[in-house]
């Protein structure tokens, strides 16, 4: 690892070395302040030209645009909702047959397409250790169709399918499910920390087999906060520990970036500071808030034990 004069440890790349080429053109159809646009911009900077992206029906599909116009400069295939990992696996097989293994295949998939409808094709591809990056961009609901609840929606959030009593179930632990597939590389990232995100995609590109990356995606209309606050909300997710920046390699867990600092200091903000900024939690009960805090604490403690 390189070391800056003021003692910041660097991974393979750093904020000063981020590829300055743009792969997303100005004027996409994503909403103002969209966390996905921000994350995708840095993902493509990290993966560069030799990349093919598989996209299911989702906000990502809208961001890409309608044929014959597109806002993205890398080749992409529009797959089915449940079959993004299967379509990406087919591309990997074709590239292998053509001996073009230098091309990175990225299946970038929403939480609905990962946690719910696409979990079978993802699990099958992961079990075969398909040579691709599967990245779940998690905006915690079916946003493209108007904010319906998914397995990723947190307890206490309002969606159009949990309109009065809010979602009562806990968020599914997708990282745990993917870890059970014994993958070579798993990581979590947030567009609020672009250098950490960039580093992890650069690293993932160099590894073979199925690499799973989970991206927290703050979403102004779906989470009901002002568009200017996307980075602030993304940072609060990490500061409160509701979203943890980490890597798992060969079964070894480690905190990264800001989460590593928080783990060392033993300090996190209370979850209420994250919750109170978002209109989707406006009907959350105190009991649900306490349950959410306990869930965050117990998962954090589990990670702390693993990081020892
Ligand atoms: C089989 C099938 N059912 C439903 C739809 C309609 N549909 C399109 S996008 C979408 C929501 C996708 O949610 P998610 O994967 O979380 O991505 P996001 O829209 O949040 O980016 C749905 C339900 C579809 N295209 N195909
Ligand atoms: S609904 Fe959310 S994730 Fe979808 S384009 Fe708008 S801001 Fe982005
Ligand atoms: Mg979604």
DSSP 227: G
Residue having the nearest C-alpha atom to atom 25 of ligand 1: 57
State in Å: Cα 160 to ligand 1 middle: 14
Paired tokens of 210: 């199925």
Largest CA distance in the chain: 58
- Looking from the CA of residue 37, the nearest atom of ligand 2 is 8
pLDDT of residue 16: 72
> What are phi and psi for residue 81, nearest 5 degrees?
-60, -50
Question: What b/e sequence results for 148-163 when a residue is b if at least 16 CB atoms lie within 10 Å of its CB, and e otherwise?
Answer: ebbbbbbbbbbbeebe
Exposed/middle/buried for 125, CB within 10 Å: 0-12, 13-18, 19+?
buried
73 with 223: CB under 8 angstroms? no
Ligand 3 (ion): which residues have CB within 5 A? 110-111, 139, 143
Quote the radius of gyration of the chain (alpha carbons, Å): 18
The answer to whether position 3 is within a domain reads no
154 with 243: CB under 8 angstroms? no
Residue having the nearest C-alpha atom to atom 4 of ligand 2: 59
Is 50 exceeded by the pLDDT of residue 10? no
State in Å: Cα 223 to ligand 2 middle: 10
Percent of the chain at pLDDT exceeding 90: 91
Paired tokens of 31: 């909403």
Q: Is the CB of 111 under 6 A from ligand 1?
A: yes
Report the distance separating Cα 174 and Cα 44, nearest Å. Answer: 23
The answer to whether position 2 is within a domain reads no
Residue having the nearest C-alpha atom to atom 3 of ligand 2: 219
Helix (H, G, I), strand (E, B) or coil at 253: strand
The answer to whether position 255 is within a domain reads yes
Q: What CATH number is given to the structural domain containing 229?
A: 3.40.50.970
266-275 tens-digit pLDDT:
989 999 999 9
For the chain, what is the domain count? 1
68 vs 36: which has the higher pLDDT:
36
| Helices 230-240 and 35-47, packing angle to 10 deg | 80
Is 70 exceeded by the pLDDT of residue 154? yes
The answer to whether position 5 is within a domain reads no
Lowest mean pLDDT among 3-12, 36-45, 294-303: 3-12
State in Å: Cα 191 to ligand 3 middle: 15
pLDDT of residue 14: 63
The answer to whether position 80 is within a domain reads yes
> What residues does ligand 2 touch, defined as CB less than 6 Å away?
30-31, 34, 36, 59, 139, 143, 217, 219-222
240-255 tens-digit pLDDT:
999 999 999 989 999 9
**What is the average pLDDT across 299-303?**
97
**What is the average pLDDT across 28-35?**
96
pLDDT of residue 107: 98
255 with 247: CB under 8 angstroms? no
Residue having the nearest C-alpha atom to atom 1 of ligand 1: 81
- The number of angstroms, rounded, from the C-alpha of 300 to the middle of its chain's C-alpha atoms is 18
Report the distance separating Cα 112 and Cα 32, nearest Å. Answer: 22
The answer to whether position 7 is within a domain reads no
pTM of the entire structure? Answer: 0.95
State in Å: Cα 93 to ligand 1 middle: 26
Report the distance separating Cα 51 and Cα 38, nearest Å. Answer: 18
pLDDT of residue 27: 87
Peptide bond into 68 cis (omega under 30): yes
The answer to whether position 133 is within a domain reads yes
The answer to whether position 216 is within a domain reads yes
Is 80 exceeded by the pLDDT of residue 236? yes
Residue to probe by mutation, ligand 1, list 144, 157, 217, most atoms within 8 Å of CB:
144
Work out the mean pLDDT of the chain and round it to a whole number.
94
Q: Is the CB of 219 under 6 A from ligand 1?
A: no
Is 90 exceeded by the pLDDT of residue 12? no
State the pairing for strand pair 246-249/252-255.
antiparallel
Range of the domain at 245: 15-307
Torsion angle (degrees, nearest 10) of CA 49, 84, 303, 220: 80
């Amino acid at each position: 690892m390189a070391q800056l004069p003021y003692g910041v440890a660097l991974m393979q790349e750093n904020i000063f070395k981020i590829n300055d080429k743009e792969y997303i053109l100005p004027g996409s159809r994503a909403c103002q302040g969209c966390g996905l646009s921000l994350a995708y911009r840095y993902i493509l900077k990290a993966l560069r030209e030799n990349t093919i992206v598989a996209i299911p029906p989702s906000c990502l599909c809208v961001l890409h645009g309608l044929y014959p116009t597109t806002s993205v400069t890398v080749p992409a295939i529009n797959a089915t909702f449940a079959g993004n990992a299967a379509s990406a696996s087919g591309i990997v097989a074709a590239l292998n047959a053509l001996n073009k293994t230098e091309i990175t295949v990225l299946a970038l998939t929403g939480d609905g397409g990962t946690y719910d409808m696409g979990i079978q094709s993802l699990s099958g591809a992961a079990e075969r250790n398909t040579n691709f990056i599967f990245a779940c961009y998690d905006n915690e609901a079916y946003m493209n169709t108007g904010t319906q609840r998914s397995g990723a929606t947190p307890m206490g959030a309002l969606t159009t399918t949990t309109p009065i009593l809010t979602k009562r179930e806990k968020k599914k632990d997708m990282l745990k499910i993917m870890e059970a597939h014994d993958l070579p590389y798993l990581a979590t990232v947030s567009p609020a920390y672009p250098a950490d995100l960039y580093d992890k995609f650069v690293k993932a590109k160099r590894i073979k087999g199925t690499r799973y990356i989970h991206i927290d995606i703050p979403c102004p209309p779906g989470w009901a906060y002002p568009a200017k606050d996307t980075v602030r909300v993304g940072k609060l997710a990490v500061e409160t520990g509701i979203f943890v920046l980490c890597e798992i390699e060969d079964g070894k867990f480690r905190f990264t970036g800001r989460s590593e600092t928080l783990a060392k200091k033993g300090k996190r903000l209370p979850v209420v500071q994250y919750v109170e900024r978002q209109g989707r939690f406006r009907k959350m009960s105190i009991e649900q808030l306490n349950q959410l805090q306990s869930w965050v604490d117990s998962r954090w403690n589990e990670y702390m034990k693993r990081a020892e």
